[in-house]
Amino acid sequence: MPAFKWSEDKGTKYRWLVYGVPGVGKTTLSKYLKGKTYLLSLDDSFHRIDFWKGKDDIWTIDPENPIEDLADFVKAFKPDKYDNLIIDNISNLQKLFFIEKARETRTGLDNKISDYNEWTTLITRFIAKCFSWNINILVTAWEAQTKVTDPSGQEFMQYGPDIRPNPRDYLMGNSDLVGRMIQKPQSGERGVILQGSIDTYAKNRLDDRKGCKTNELFISPGKLEKNKATGK
């Protein structure tokens, strides 16, 4: 690979990873992105989102052929035609992958150890390919609790994206922002946790916000303050 040159840099593009329980509003985040957006739907949840009704910038996958359809998407997608790509949601793709692989076994119900290695390789290569494109990317996932051990040896449960450990760590490590989307039961207000804690994995290397409302996720703090000052 040739040496990096700032003079040839194509500009900063962002990678966001947002996870949460089904129905919390992750797919709806797409309406807050600025510019032209393409949706790679891995669970067909866009059917219930008004923002996407009537739009053609959508790629869906066949639940019985998810890997072939994913490969076709990578070949066909033109990232230079769009400002943003949404990959929604990668947890469902994982489930579809293992269902497809189980069909190849004698019982049609079991997964082989090699399937787990294949999934790690496939999804890591897919994310690496997508992240190489000069386009903003939002990845969504369901949430899950996993056991984590701190340096002292104490074990505790932590919320994080519902993805198997190796590809999950790769995706989180290469994202600029990892947030857990939640909804207040009393008011119904939705927000995104951006600061990690003992029970929640989150990170934000874009700014110093520890959390935000969903409609402010893609707005920089400086611009947000300017909008408030001008009444926008």
Residue 2 lies in a domain: no
Residue 1 lies in a domain: no
Residue 8 lies in a domain: no
The count of structural domains within the chain is 1
* Contact partners, residue 190, CB within 8 Å, separation at least 6: 24, 25, 181, 182, 183, 184, 213, 214
**Would you state the pLDDT for residue 229?**
47
Domain span including residue 28? 13-230
**Would you state the pLDDT for residue 1?**
58
State the Cα–Cα distance between residues 197 and 145, nearest whole angstrom.
Answer: 13
pLDDT by residue for the chain (232 residues), tens only, comes to 567 777 766 677 999 999 999 999 999 999 999 999 999 999 999 988 899 999 999 999 999 889 999 999 999 999 999 999 999 999 999 999 999 888 877 777 777 888 899 999 999 999 999 999 999 999 999 999 998 887 888 888 999 999 999 999 999 999 999 999 999 988 989 999 999 998 999 999 999 999 999 999 998 655 655 554 455 5
Residue 41 lies in a domain: yes
Beta carbons of 211 and 195 less than 8 angstroms apart? yes
Residue 4 lies in a domain: no
Residue 5 lies in a domain: no
Residue 206 lies in a domain: yes
Looking up residue 143, the CATH number of its domain turns out to be 3.40.50.300
Residue 81 lies in a domain: yes
